[in-house]
């Protein structure tokens, strides 16, 4: 009887969450598809203007700030961060006004040239819908939290066309070092439901066939390049999170009102485009696709500093009040940095490979989501790339340290045995220190090395002195 009750309870729970997550996935899939279609409509019509569309960026940023402050302050920033915060601090409760405000402000920001993404709004729209439905049906706080996570997974899967990676991302992004397996089934069902609903309504996705085949023999030199690439991508990821944080602090210190800051931020990016070009506005999907082309001459295709400029454009757009996601800019930064890194070796046939590795490795490092990044590599680029991506992704994840573009992530792991970390705090306020025991060990090793050096020097001096005496004799 005990086992019968146990298995019956499990079966009822499975049926319950299959039904709930499927319904929520279908609803969110339709809503996010509407958002994507409106965004595509706005982008296509912005090209009909008699001047460059990004000249409207200062006005677009001011309008986005006004809408957010007036109707839904929760919709500020890059979306995903606010949803993570709601899950951890309010059991997933999100103001329903966030949904229309986030949709409109993101479209305005991107259509006028703001450097941001579309996945953050997708996650916030999905989470907001899930939270609202939970309130209508009077779900418990725990069930509401779980349903909001389904909304995140469905939003990501629908935006990027990667249902499995999107589902895993929704549960992996919450806590660094821990995946909540109790939400795994519901996230998968919600992600798949949202993805297929979007396809049914005509959503178009881009997949990259870079045609890279792994030969049967082991290419040691390529593996070494991939390992070094992982280290490089980890530092790029660290640069993104640091630049976003410092830019936000600098903007806060400026003694002007929010509207003036937004306008000046837009003006700065427009003026900068006369120096570096206009490829850094908007989503930048054309540039990402360019890096994935086979046999492209890396000396003429794009400047080496493209990823650095994109980091700056994204930080200024979001720091001055623009609305949108951070993941698409991370894809751009990862792909262009990988393209430049691959070009260092003069191997044109491997440019697309390293662009793909940068695409997913910088994502893993900047968001602390290595598992979903590996699955995304397979879904977007194929299994052959996945072998190399797994190595690069994990190294990037470790090298980027205990930082993130999502400061509300909870920290439940340390990336080195030499460190001590206070678990449970959000990643922005976590205390990371070096273990005293390891400090003593390192000091002892250093002292031993110094003693050996001194002995060697003394011995060498003694031998020199003896040789001198022998010569004089």
DSSP output for 161-182: S-HHHHHHHHHHSSEET---GG
pTM of the model: 0.88
User: Are the CB atoms for 68 and 108 separated by under 8 Å?
Assistant: no
At residue 423, φ and ψ (nearest 5 deg) are -75, 155
In the chain, count H helices and then E strands.
17, 4
Mean pLDDT of 299-327: 88
**Cα→Cα distances 470→243, 385, 422, 459, 473, Å:** 65, 67, 64, 16, 5
Mean pLDDT across the stretch 343-362? 86
The 10 Å Cβ neighbour count of residue 312 is: 18
Nearest alpha-carbon partner for 261 in 114, 55, 53, 65: 65
Angle at the Cα of 412 from the Cα atoms of 408 and 415, rounded to 5 degrees: 105
Q: Region 418-440: what's the mean pLDDT?
A: 71
As a whole number, mean pLDDT of residues 365-380 equals 93
What confidence tens digit (pLDDT) does each residue in 29-86 have?
Answer: 999 999 999 999 998 888 788 999 999 999 999 999 999 988 888 777 677 778 888 8
User: What 8-state DSSP symbol labels residue 325?
Assistant: B
List, for residues 247-274, the tens digit of each pLDDT value.
999 998 988 898 999 999 999 999 999 9
At 114, give phi and psi (nearest 5°).
Answer: -60, 140
Predicted confidence (pLDDT) per residue in 166-213, tens digit:
889 989 998 888 888 888 999 999 999 999 999 999 888 877 766 655
The bridge status of strand 419-421 relative to strand 410-411 is: unpaired
Question: Average pLDDT over the chain, rounded to whole?
Answer: 86
Taking residues 422-432, report their average pLDDT: 73
What pLDDT is stored for residue 190 in this prediction?
Answer: 94
pLDDT at 216 over 60: no
What does the alpha-carbon distance between residue 24 and residue 197 come to, in Å, rounded to a whole number? 11
Phi first, then psi, for residue 426 (nearest 5°) are -70, 155
Where does CATH 1.10.3080.10 sit in the chain? 2-200, 220-420
Q: Nearest 5°: CA angle at 114, between 113 and 118?
A: 105
Cβ–Cβ < 8 Å for 92, 151: no
CATH class of residue range 220-420 = mainly alpha
16 three-state secondary structure: helix
* pLDDT beyond 70 at 298: no
CA 69-75-76 angle, 5° bins: 70
Q: Answer whether CATH 1.10.3080.10 is correct for domain 2-200.
A: yes
Least confident of 325-329, 333-337, 427-431: 427-431
Least reliable range by pLDDT among 3-7, 269-273, 318-322: 3-7
């Amino acid at each position: 009887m005990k086992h019968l009750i146990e298995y019956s309870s499990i079966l009822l729970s499975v049926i319950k969450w299959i039904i709930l997550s499927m319904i929520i996935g279908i609803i969110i899939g339709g809503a996010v598809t509407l958002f994507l279609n409106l965004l595509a409509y706005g982008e296509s019509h912005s090209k009909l203007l008699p001047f460059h569309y990004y000249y409207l960026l200062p006005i677009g940023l001011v309008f986005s700030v006004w809408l957010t402050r007036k109707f839904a302050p929760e919709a500020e920033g890059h979306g995903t961060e606010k949803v993570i915060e709601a899950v951890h601090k309010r059991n997933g409760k999100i103001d329903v006004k966030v949904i229309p405000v986030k949709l409109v402000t993101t479209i305005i920001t991107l259509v006028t040239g703001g450097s941001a993404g579309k996945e953050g709004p997708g996650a916030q729209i999905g989470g907001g819908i899930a939270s609202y439905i939970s309130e209508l049906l009077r779900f418990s706080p725990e069930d509401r939290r779980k349903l909001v996570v389904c909304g995140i997974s469905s939003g990501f899967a629908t935006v990027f066309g990667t249902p499995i990676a999107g589902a895993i991302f929704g549960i992996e992004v919450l806590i660094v070092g821990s995946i909540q397996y109790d939400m795994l089934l519901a996230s998968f069902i919600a992600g798949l439901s949202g993805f297929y609903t979007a396809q049914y309504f005509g959503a178009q996705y881009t997949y990259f066939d870079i045609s890279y085949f792994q030969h049967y023999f082991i290419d040691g030199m390529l593996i070494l390049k991939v390992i070094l690439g992982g280290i490089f991508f980890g530092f790029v990821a660290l640069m993104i999170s640091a630049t976003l944080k410092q830019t936000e602090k600098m903007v806060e210190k400026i003694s002007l009102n929010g509207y003036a800051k937004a306008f000046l931020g837009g003006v700065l990016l427009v003026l900068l485009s006369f120096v570096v070009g206009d490829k850094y506005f908007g989503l930048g999907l054309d540039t990402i696709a360019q890096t994935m082309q086979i046999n492209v001459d890396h000396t003429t295709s794009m400047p080496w500093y493209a990823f650095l400029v994109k980091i700056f454009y994204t930080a200024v757009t979001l720091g001055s009040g623009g609305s949108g996601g951070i993941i698409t800019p991370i894809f751009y930064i990862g792909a262009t940095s990988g393209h430049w890194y691959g070009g260092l070796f003069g191997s044109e046939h491997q440019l697309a490979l390293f662009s793909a590795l940068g695409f997913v490795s910088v994502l893993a490092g900047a968001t602390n989501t290595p598992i979903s990044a590996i699955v995304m590599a397979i879904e977007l680029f194929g299994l052959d790339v996945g072998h190399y991506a797994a190595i690069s992704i994990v190294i990037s994840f470790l090298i980027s340290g205990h930082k993130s573009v999502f400061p509300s992530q909870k920290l439940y792991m340390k990336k080195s045995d030499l460190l001590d970390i206070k678990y449970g705090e959000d990643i922005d306020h976590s205390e990371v220190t070096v273990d005293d025991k390891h400090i003593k060990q390192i000091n002892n090793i250093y002292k031993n090395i110094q003693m050996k050096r001194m002995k060697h020097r003394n011995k060498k001096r003694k031998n020199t002195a003896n040789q001198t005496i022998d010569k004089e004799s």
